[in-house]
Amino acid sequence: MSDLFVFVNDLFVPSPDASLLVSDLAIQRGYGVFDFLKTIDHTPVFPEEHLARFLHSARQLRLEVGRSKEELLALIHLLMEKNDIPDSGIKLILTGGYAEDGYTLSKPNLVITQNHLQLPAPGTFEKGVRLVSYPHQRQMPDAKTIDYLMAIWLQPYIREKGADDVLYHKEGAISECPRSNFFIVTADDTLVTPSENILKGVIRGKVLQLARQQFKVEERPVLLDEVWAAREAFITSTTKHVLPVVAVDGRQIGEGALGKISKWLSEALSHQITSSPFPEDHRST
């Protein structure tokens, strides 16, 4: 990473020289928002949606970005030109600013980084992932904040349970994973995803758009009992796309393998991102 540039407020600087003061509320109180998008072959994927969510998150936390969506996109393209990474992950961070008292909002600091894209290990899509449920509700779930305290604290617990990630729930109603949205497919091939107390991911939105072309779709509360009885389950995110979930709390989901609807949605999403051939109607397979 040492040879890459980082944008900090008004300057592009080499990453070893990129810094913020320790008085920043991101350090003092964990106060800030971010968004993450990827580039494929030097092209940002769904930048409009990511930047719209970034601006929305900033408004939720009463942070002034000071730049329009168009200006942010221009900065991203300048950073891409300087770093010249075809496939990458770009992160925009907006902090609470420097606070002398360590508590009061100040002028936000804007940081934009670019790094080589890190994708799930080969074979992960075919193998699927295992989740363990845990009772937790994120604060201000509609904003993409830098607060991942519970997700990081739970990492030993996740490993202890033989799982790959955690699925949050509150009083039996599930919400999301720390870095992805969650879907199930019911016995009658209805696609269902939680509607409340979640961060509405960009890929989640794209999957819902695609799914409505082929399936019955419901956005509503989802209970853990429904998850265990589901025919299929999967998670979605910018790096994971559509990733099958084969077990939750040690209980196998469906056949414990990639399902036909998950497969169709994965292929349809890949088509939208890379302009690959669109998958055939799932009903013909």
Same domain, 104 and 131: no
Over residues 182-232, the pLDDT tens digits come to 999 999 999 999 999 999 999 999 999 999 999 999 999 999 999 999 999
Q: Which of 145, 155, 88 is nearest to 115 (CA)?
A: 88
Over residues 82-102, the pLDDT tens digits come to 999 999 999 999 999 999 999
Same domain, 76 and 190: no
Provide the domain count of the chain: 2
Count other C-beta atoms under 10 Å from residue 22's C-beta: 9
Over residues 105-143, the pLDDT tens digits come to 999 999 999 999 988 888 888 899 999 999 999 999 999
Same domain, 10 and 133: no
Instruction: Please give the pLDDT value at position 121.
Output: 84
Same domain, 63 and 165: no
Query: Per DSSP, what are the bridge partners of residue 95?
Result: 32
% of the chain residues with pLDDT over 70: 95
Dist. CA 202–CA 238, nearest whole Å = 7
CA gyration radius for the chain? 20
Backbone phi, psi, residue 21, to 5°: -70, 155
Quote the mean pLDDT of the chain.
94
Over residues 252-267, the pLDDT tens digits come to 999 999 999 999 999 9
Residue 197 CA: distances (Å) to CA of 220, 221, 255: 11, 10, 29
Domain boundary among 116, 136, 154: 116
Same domain, 277 and 246: yes
Q: Which of 170, 195, 189 is nearest to 262 (CA)?
A: 189
Helix (H, G, I), strand (E, B) or coil at 51: helix
Q: Which domain holds residue 98?
A: 5-116
Same domain, 175 and 52: no
Domain boundary among 116, 144, 174: 116
Same domain, 112 and 158: no
Same domain, 198 and 234: yes
pLDDT at 173 over 50: yes
Dist. CA 134–CA 168, nearest whole Å = 5
Same domain, 185 and 58: no
Report yes or no: 30 and 150 within 8 Å, Cβ to Cβ: no
Over residues 44-71, the pLDDT tens digits come to 999 999 999 999 999 999 999 999 999 9
The CATH number for 98's domain is: 3.30.470.10
Spell out a b/e string for 158-184, using b for 16 or more CB atoms within 10 Å of the CB, else e.
beebebbbbbbbeeebbbbbbbbbbbb
Nearest 10 degrees: CA dihedral of 164, 169, 173, 175? Answer: -70
The CATH number for 267's domain is: 3.20.10.10
Domain boundary among 116, 137, 169: 116
Same domain, 111 and 201: no
Instruction: Please give the pLDDT value at position 281.
Output: 56
Same domain, 44 and 111: yes
Dist. CA 30–CA 275, nearest whole Å = 39
Same domain, 148 and 183: yes
